[in-house]
Amino acid sequence: MVSKACYVAGYRRKLEELASFPNVELMLMVPPYWRFGKKKAPLEPSTDRGYQMVVENPLFNGWHHLHLYPRLSHWVATFRPQILHVDEEPYDLVTYHALRVARRWRAKALFFTWQNIRLGFPPPFSFLERNVLARADAAIAGNQEAARVLREKGFLRPTFVIPQFGVDTAFFRPRDGEPGNTFRIGYVGRMVEEKGVFLLLEAVSEMGGPWELHLAGDGPALPRMVRWLSAKGLGDRFEWHGSVPSHQMPEFLSTLDVLVLPSLTRPRWKEQFGRVLVEAMACARPVVGSSSGEIPNVIGDAGLIFPEGNVEELRAHLFRLMGDPSWRRKLGQQGRQRVEERFTQRRVAELTYDVYRHLLEAP
């Protein structure tokens, strides 16, 4: 498997689960860090049991669509896999290069995609995508609409809808504690308009009762959000927690009475999954999400959905939850159950293992 995302230790739990299935020998190629502008996110330490990990720094580290691993062919020749799983988009250079390597060493190849809007790409990415779609033996789509986009682009080989990573339910779990007198509304994510952050501000600004708004994340919209809250006289009801480290996220989510993801679809973006939803659900916290993209499929009947952009319905959901602690507990329990059934690392690994078996059995 080739995956830059696996510099995150929690994501590699899926590989440990995969390696535990019968007749699986697994090698992961991962960078020593991933560059975000001038900052480097280092490869996080973990147990990494059951599989071999190769750390290789790619060319153009930090360039999502242009990086590649020059020594990939060497490691494929050494390991001789039957399947090369490229955990990257079909229009990325790393995917194109990996599929050429797979063909050279007669390995079957599959890629992963989140892309849930049909977009045209300029050269060279259009060329890369056409070649990958022509050569790949299968695909994993992170959401239903991404699978549809692949079909519309002419990819007729097997496509499986599976989240990229699951949730560690031993880490993201309910915490003990009694609800306080103040209703704590939370948002976690980028502070940008398409995430619906100003919609959330409008919704809470007209709510009576004892509530607080807790925001975690960063982004260009944050200064304007702070000014907006201050102008409304709500500065004392708002707390910004910055970018909460992943190892502290379960504790932060457990302090909330509800987690809101009010995303807004834009011409070139809509919500592809909403990972924070399943993390909050695993912590038995009720969630409220908009109808954008994959959000309704993630939440199912374990939370509340409102039509994206509809401030009044979002406010109504929050107001009802604020006044009904027993309903909040019920939704939290339903959310935890849904995660255990669909979104654990074990379940995602199991579905991925089924993809591998399908590929090996196919002519």
CATH (domain of 161): 3.40.50.2000
Residue 121 lies in a domain: yes
Please count the other Cβ atoms lying within 10 Å of the Cβ belonging to residue 154: 9
8 A C-beta contact, residue 286 and residue 331:
yes
Q: Tell me, what's the pLDDT at 362?
A: 84
**What phi, psi does 35 have (nearest 5°)?**
-90, 130
Residue 175 lies in a domain: no
My answer on whether 94 and 146 are in the same domain is yes
User: For 148-169, what is each residue's pLDDT tens digit?
Assistant: 999 999 999 999 999 999 999 9
Residue 172 lies in a domain: no
**What phi, psi does 207 have (nearest 5°)?**
-90, 135
**What phi, psi does 36 have (nearest 5°)?**
-120, 90
Q: Tell me, what's the pLDDT at 181?
A: 85
My answer on whether 121 and 248 are in the same domain is no
User: For 248-264, what is each residue's pLDDT tens digit?
Assistant: 999 999 999 999 999 99
My answer on whether 112 and 192 are in the same domain is no
Angle at 149 between CA 289 and CA 259, to 5 degrees: 10
Question: 103: which residues sit within 8 A by CB, 6+ positions away?
Answer: 109, 135
With a cut of 80, say whether residue 234 has pLDDT above it: yes
User: What average pLDDT does the chain have?
Assistant: 96
| Number of domain units in the chain | 2
Cα 106 to chain centroid, rounded: 31
How far apart are the two ends of the chain, measured CA to CA in Å? 22
With a cut of 70, say whether residue 65 has pLDDT above it: yes
Residue 217 lies in a domain: yes
My answer on whether 91 and 129 are in the same domain is yes
Answer whether the bond into residue 124 is a cis peptide, omega within 30°.
Answer: yes
Give me 134's structure tokens. 């022509």
With a cut of 90, say whether residue 303 has pLDDT above it: yes
Give me 338's structure tokens. 């849904």
Residue 238 lies in a domain: yes
pLDDT (mean) for 95-116:
97
pLDDT (mean) for 182-199:
96
Full 3-state SS string of 185-236: EEEECCCCHHHCHHHHHHHHHCCCCCEEEEEECCCCCHHHHHHHHHHCCCHH
3-state helix, strand, coil in the chain (%, to 5): 40, 20, 40
Q: Tell me, what's the pLDDT at 146?
A: 98
Question: 249: which residues sit within 8 A by CB, 6+ positions away?
Answer: 172, 188, 279
Q: Tell me, what's the pLDDT at 138?
A: 98
Q: Which of 324, 332, 291 is CA-nearest to residue 310?
A: 291
My answer on whether 62 and 156 are in the same domain is yes
Residue 178 lies in a domain: no
My answer on whether 94 and 215 are in the same domain is no
My answer on whether 47 and 78 are in the same domain is yes
My answer on whether 93 and 187 are in the same domain is no
- Rg, C-alpha atoms of the chain: 21
Tell me the residue range of the domain where 263 lies. 183-342
My answer on whether 188 and 152 are in the same domain is no
My answer on whether 350 and 324 are in the same domain is no
pLDDT (mean) for 79-90:
98
Residue 176 lies in a domain: no
Residue 171 lies in a domain: no
H/E element holding 326?
helix 325-342
My answer on whether 118 and 56 are in the same domain is yes
My answer on whether 147 and 259 are in the same domain is no
Question: 180: which residues sit within 8 A by CB, 6+ positions away?
Answer: none
Task: Look at residue 288 and give its three-state secondary structure.
Answer: strand
Q: Tell me, what's the pLDDT at 235?
A: 87
